[in-house]
Each structure stands twice: as structure tokens, then as C-alpha cells.
């Protein structure tokens, strides 16, 4: 059997460069590798609603933003099926059956859900200040890892390319698959997670150096930011607080500018953007990021110079994305059409799995051939 990819994003905002290095860039590579029989990319609006129940308009508005980001990054509807989660009702049905295979205690141990409960202020007895309003945990939110298992298994995905924070979800999916298969017979496919290979890409920090790039923290560089916006954000980035004078030795570790360079810089950039290292007071010739780092550590290399270089490196990736997005923004009917057609393809695929699941669970009474058997058996019993 061929390899199948399923992955997706919640439509709660435009996608940023953390999404790009954490997953999007990889998806495009995988798509173009020709190694996968099928690729499904899902806009997880139903999951987004689990903690945005009161804000459906936000989710609705961001569907198109995420779709535009997908297409402008190079996801190609001829090779990847892009679809909207809520339009495939089979996914919800699957989740309901999987719920029987998961305990409340197991859900409570999911570290990503745990962190989100505190972040969203849902916790009831947490010491965390964010929890002081004691909102309680919506059941739908609490069970979203189960819904995510449905997303993955519905498409018989073998491979789930996601960021590190999704690891607990994939682990839970694998447990559900094993439990299902051992209870009802071999039906579902156990998926594997595919994490970014480069440490900087695992979790790209925000421009303020905070652990995560997040809309609520206002520390994101968006794929759809203009060149001016990107430069303003790069200029304001955190570096090494101890690097006061250009001549001071600087720290590379924990220096966000260098983390971004680790994620985005390629050797070809040193030839292409040689001018960035030509200054009034000092000039350098670098051929690799290691050489830049060595100079920064030794001192003499100013923050403005590395920020200039980072800006050029970022825009080298972002400019083509921006251009494609501009074109696509003029053709929104096409974008919605991609999603509508993709949702139809996805639904047909999920329906096959749902039928197999219902068959395995013996809740397929009226399927072809089943009723005849059932009648025979029951007639015998009531004779
Ligand atoms: N939880 C993912 C996120 O927050 C989105 C998502 C929903 C997903 N279902 C999925 C990712 C299935 C991978 C596989 O971004």
C-alpha cells in the first residue's frame, strides 16, 4: 500500500513563518517528491471551533486566509487535496465511536491539551493566574485529540508532517488505532509523525525571543506581510542583550536572529546577498552561516548587519509567496473552488473508512448483504 499524508491547520489566523518552517515548506517538498500516493491538507475549522465556539465569524474569515497561504506556498491542488474539515461529516461520526476507546484520565494527561487548558483559562483548580476566571473546559475542546485521530485515520494516513506540539496528538491517535484494531479487528492504519529535521524549525521563537510565535503574543512574521512589515519586525528583533557595542563578543545561542537564520539561510544566500556584509566601518566575506556565527562570537559584527542579512534571506523566500498570493487574491472563486472540490474528494475517502469502521463495530445492519445474514440469524433465533 502506498504512503498517504494527512495534516492541517486551525483557521484562526493567517499563517506565519513558524508554520512555514515547521510544516508548510516540508509539505510542499513531500508533495513534489512523488513518494506519496495521496496527500490531504485539511483546514481544521471544526477543531478551531472547539475553543472559539462564540466566534464562528473569525473561523469563517480565516478559511480563505489559510487557503491563500497554502496555495501561495506551492501546495498544488493537482497533487494535494485541500479541504475543509466541517464539510466532511464522516469525521465527526468517527470521533463519536473512538470516544469509547479513550478514558478521561488519558485525555487529561495529553501535555498539549494540558498547556492549552491553562493558556485558554479553562482550568478550574489550576494555580495559574490565567485560570482565575475558572471558565471550565468545553467538552468538545477536551476531546479534540480524539477528533484529530478521526482526521488522521479517516484518510488511512501513514504520515503526519506536523510541528513538535502535535506529537501527543499523534501518539494518542496511535493508541486509538491499536485499541480499535485489537477490539474490532484490523481496520485502521497506524500513522507516523514526521517532524522537522532542523532544531530551529521544530519551534521557531517569536520575534521577541519568546518560545513560540503566536498571534496572541504579537510576535509573528506572517507569510502575507509586506516587505516593509517584515523589515520593521526584523529591525525590532531581540538579539543578545549583552551585545552592546559592535566590538563586543556576541552570543549566538538563544539569539533569535541566528535561530531564524538557522531556519531560513542557505549557502547560496552568501553569494546573493554579499552586499549585506559590506559596511562603512567594517566589511566581511562569509561563505557559510558558521563563519558568520564565528565572527559574531568573536565580536566586530554588528546587529544591524546580521539583521540586514536576515531580512534579505527572509524575503528571498517570502517574495515569491507574496507575489503568488497577490495573484490568487484576485481569483477568489478559484480558491473556494479548490476547497469545494477537495472537500468532495475527502468526503468520498472518509466515507470508505467510516463504512469499514461501522462494519468492524457491527453497526452496519442495512449495508449490502448484511441484512440478509442478520435476518437468517435472527429468524433462527426466534423460531
Ligand atoms: N491540531 C492541529 C493544529 O492545531 C490541526 C489539526 C487538526 C491537525 N487535525 C489534524 C494536524 C490532523 C494534523 C493532523 O494546527
pLDDT above 60 for 170:
yes
pLDDT above 60 for 60:
yes
Cβ-contact 236, 244 below 8 angstroms = no
pLDDT above 90 for 121:
no
Q: Calculate how far, in angstroms, residue 123's C-alpha sits from the geometric centre of ligand 1.
A: 22
Sign of the CA dihedral with 127 first, then 131, 136, and 141 last: negative
**Residue 318 CA: distances (Å) to CA of 20, 85, 236, 310, 325:** 10, 28, 19, 12, 10
Cβ-contact 94, 150 below 8 angstroms = yes
What average pLDDT score do residues 157-179 get?
95
- Residue nearest ligand 1's atom 5 by CA: 9
Q: Calculate how far, in angstroms, residue 48's C-alpha sits from the geometric centre of ligand 1.
A: 10
**CB-based burial, 125-164: b 16+ in 10 Å, e otherwise:** eeeeeebeeeeebeeebbbbbbbbbbbbbbbbbbbbbbbe
Q: Calculate how far, in angstroms, residue 9's C-alpha sits from the geometric centre of ligand 1.
A: 5
H or E element in which residue 378 lies: helix 370-382
In ligand 1, which atom is closest to the CA atom of 147? 9
267-286: pLDDT as tens digits: 999 999 999 999 988 899 99
- Residue nearest ligand 1's atom 15 by CA: 9
H or E element in which residue 199 lies: helix 199-202
Ligand 1 proximal residues by C-beta, below 6 Å: 6-10, 44, 47, 148, 151-152, 160, 162, 166
H or E element in which residue 193 lies: strand 192-194
- Residue nearest ligand 1's atom 9 by CA: 148
355-374: pLDDT as tens digits: 999 999 999 999 989 999 99
pLDDT for 124 equals 66
DSSP for 69-95, please give it.
HHHHHT--TTTSEEEEGGG-THHHHHH
- Residue nearest ligand 1's atom 8 by CA: 8
pLDDT for 381 equals 96
CATH code reported for the domain at 215-328? 1.10.240.10
Q: Calculate how far, in angstroms, residue 142's C-alpha sits from the geometric centre of ligand 1.
A: 14
Domain ranges of the chain: 3-102+143-203+332-375, 215-328
pTM of the model: 0.93
Nearest to 10 by CA among 40, 39, 43, 41: 43
Which of 166, 167, 213 is the best mutation target for the ligand 1 pocket, counting ligand atoms within 8 Å of the beta carbon and taking the most? 166
Task: Determine the Cα–Cα distance for residues 337 and 85; give it in Å rounded to an integer.
Answer: 15
Lowest-confidence range among 44-48, 137-141, 212-216, 265-269? 212-216
pLDDT for 214 equals 84
pLDDT for 132 equals 45
Question: In this predicted model, which residue has the larger pLDDT, 132 or 244?
Answer: 244
139-155: pLDDT as tens digits: 999 999 999 999 999 99
Q: Calculate how far, in angstroms, residue 155's C-alpha sits from the geometric centre of ligand 1.
A: 14
241-253: pLDDT as tens digits: 999 889 999 999 9
Q: Calculate how far, in angstroms, residue 125's C-alpha sits from the geometric centre of ligand 1.
A: 27
- Would you place residue 134 in the very low, low, confident or very high pLDDT band (cuts 50, 70, 90)? low
Task: Determine the Cα–Cα distance for residues 141 and 122; give it in Å rounded to an integer.
Answer: 10
- Residue nearest ligand 1's atom 14 by CA: 7
Task: Determine the Cα–Cα distance for residues 116 and 148; give it in Å rounded to an integer.
Answer: 15
Structurally, at CATH architecture level, domain 3-102+143-203+332-375 sits in 3-Layer(aba) Sandwich (3.40)
Task: Determine the Cα–Cα distance for residues 328 and 137; give it in Å rounded to an integer.
Answer: 39
5-41: pLDDT as tens digits: 999 999 999 999 999 998 899 999 999 999 999 999 9
pLDDT above 50 for 131:
no
302-328: pLDDT as tens digits: 999 999 999 999 999 999 999 999 999
In ligand 1, which atom is closest to the CA atom of 157? 14
Task: Determine the Cα–Cα distance for residues 277 and 30; give it in Å rounded to an integer.
Answer: 34
What average pLDDT score do residues 90-112 get?
96
Average pLDDT over the chain, rounded to an integer: 93
pLDDT for 250 equals 94
Nearest to 321 by CA among 14, 105, 61: 14
Q: Calculate how far, in angstroms, residue 7's C-alpha sits from the geometric centre of ligand 1.
A: 6
193-214: pLDDT as tens digits: 999 887 777 788 999 998 788 8
Q: What percent of the chain has pLDDT over 90?
A: 84
- Would you place residue 45 in the very low, low, confident or very high pLDDT band (cuts 50, 70, 90)? very high
Q: Calculate how far, in angstroms, residue 196's C-alpha sits from the geometric centre of ligand 1.
A: 15
Which of 151, 154, 177, 212 is the best mutation target for the ligand 1 pocket, counting ligand atoms within 8 Å of the beta carbon and taking the most? 151
Task: Determine the Cα–Cα distance for residues 33 and 23; give it in Å rounded to an integer.
Answer: 15
Amino acid at each position: 500500500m502506498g504512503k498517504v499524508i494527512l495534516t492541517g491547520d486551525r483557521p484562526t489566523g493567517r499563517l506565519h513563518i513558524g508554520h512555514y518552517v515547521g510544516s508548510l515548506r516540508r509539505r510542499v517538498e513531500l508533495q513534489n517528491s512523488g513518494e506519496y500516493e495521496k496527500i490531504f491538507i485539511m483546514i481544521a475549522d471544526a477543531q478551531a471551533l472547539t475553543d472559539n465556539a462564540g466566534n464562528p465569524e473569525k473561523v469563517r474569515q480565516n478559511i480563505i486566509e489559510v487557503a491563500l497561504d497554502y496555495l501561495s506556498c506551492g501546495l498544488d491542488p493537482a497533487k494535494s487535496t485541500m479541504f475543509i474539515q466541517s464539510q466532511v461529516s464522516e469525521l465527526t461520526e468517527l470521533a463519536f465511536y473512538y470516544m469509547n476507546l479513550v478514558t478521561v484520565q488519558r485525555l487529561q494527561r495529553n501535555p498539549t491539551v494540558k498547556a492549552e487548558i491553562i493558556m485558554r483559562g479553562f482550568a478550574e483548580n489550576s494555580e495559574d493566574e490565567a485560570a482565575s476566571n475558572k471558565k471550565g473546559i468545553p467538552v468538545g475542546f477536551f476531546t479534540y485529540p480524539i477528533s484529530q485521530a478521526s482526521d488522521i485515520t479517516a484518510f488511512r494516513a501513514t504520515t503526519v508532517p506536523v510541528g513538535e506540539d502535535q506529537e501527543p496528538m499523534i501518539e494518542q491517535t496511535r493508541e486509538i488505532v491499536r485499541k480499535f484494531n485489537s477490539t474490532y479487528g484490523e481496520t485502521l492504519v497506524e500513522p507516523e509523525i514526521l517532524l522537522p529535521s532542523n532544531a530551529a524549525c521544530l519551534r521557531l521563537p517569536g520575534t521577541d525571543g519568546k518560545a513560540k510565535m503566536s498571534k496572541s503574543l504579537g510576535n509573528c512574521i506572517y507569510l502575507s506581510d509586506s516587505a516593509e512589515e517584515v523589515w520593521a519586525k526584523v529591525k525590532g528583533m531581540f538579539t543578545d542583550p549583552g551585545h552592546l557595542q559592535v566590538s563586543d563578543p556576541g552570543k549566538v545561542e538563544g539569539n533569535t536572529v541566528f535561530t531564524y537564520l538557522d531556519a531560513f539561510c542557505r549557502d547560496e544566500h552568501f553569494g546573493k546577498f554579499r552586499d549585506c556584509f559590506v559596511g562603512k566601518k567594517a566589511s566581511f566575506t562569509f561563505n557559510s552561516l558558521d563563519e558568520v556565527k564565528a565572527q559574531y562570537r568573536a565580536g566586530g559584527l554588528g546587529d544591524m548587519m546580521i539583521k540586514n542579512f536576515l531580512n534579505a534571506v527572509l524575503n528571498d523566500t517570502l517574495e515569491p509567496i507574496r507575489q503568488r498570493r497577490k495573484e490568487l487574491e484576485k481569483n477568489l472563486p478559484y480558491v473556494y473552488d479548490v476547497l469545494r472540490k477537495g472537500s468532495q474528494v475527502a468526503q468520498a475517502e472518509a466515507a470508505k473508512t467510516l463504512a469499514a469502521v461501522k462494519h468492524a463495530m457491527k453497526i452496519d445492519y442495512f449495508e449490502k448483504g448484511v441484512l440478509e445474514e442478520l435476518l437468517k440469524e435472527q429468524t433462527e433465533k426466534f423460531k
